[in-house]
């Protein structure tokens, strides 16, 4: 009986060790993914901050903003790159995401209507996108 109790305890200890090892490896993977996600958001924010400090923004800067926005929307909302901003706006309207709708509508007006590039308007759009990114940082 005593030997059977020792064997039972040893088996329980071995099983617990395996479970703990498995949980530790899962925890490490989750920490790695969280760090990767933090870095991704920092990259977006740093790129937008670099645009924001420019005195005069050009069509090239608007294209950079466009790429950053589309990358973020693709990554965060799984929105296809080929959609226009008006189509993206319609998607966001269905979920009542006002900042995203406003951003997409303004981008559509500037990109598709051929409006003159206004540095202040682009900086405003940069701020809106920064707010959007910040609101999804911890989700």
Reported as a single tens digit per residue, the pLDDT across 46-76 is 899 998 888 888 889 999 999 999 999 998 8
pLDDT (tens digit, 9 = 90+) per residue, 113-131? 776 778 888 999 999 999 9
**Two tokens, residue 131:** 């707010």
Total domain count, the chain: 1
- Compute the Cα dihedral for 26, 30, 35, 36 and give only its sign: positive
Between the alpha carbon of residue 22 and those of residues 10, 14, 18, 29, the distances in Å are 18, 12, 6, 11
Query: What pLDDT, on the 0 to 100 scale, is given for residue 137?
Result: 62
The string of pLDDT tens digits covering residues 3-24 is 888 999 999 999 999 999 999 9
pTM of the model: 0.71
Pairwise CA distance, residues 10 & 68, whole Å: 56
Domain span holding position 64: 2-135
């Amino acid at each position: 009986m005593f030997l059977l109790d020792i064997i039972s305890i040893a088996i329980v200890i071995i099983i617990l060790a395996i479970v703990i090892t498995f949980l530790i490896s899962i925890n490490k993977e989750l920490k790695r993914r969280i760090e990767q996600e933090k870095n991704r958001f920092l990259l977006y924010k740093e790129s937008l901050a670099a645009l924001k400090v420019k005195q005069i923004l050009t069509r090239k800067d608007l294209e950079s903003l466009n790429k950053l926005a589309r990358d973020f929307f693709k990554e965060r909302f799984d929105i296809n790159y080929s959609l226009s901003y008006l189509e993206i706006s319609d998607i966001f309207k269905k979920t009542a995401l006002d900042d995203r709708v406003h951003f997409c509508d303004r981008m559509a007006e500037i990109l598709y209507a051929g409006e003159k590039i206004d540095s202040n308007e682009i900086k405003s759009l940069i701020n809106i996108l920064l707010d959007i990114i910040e609101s999804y940082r911890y989700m």
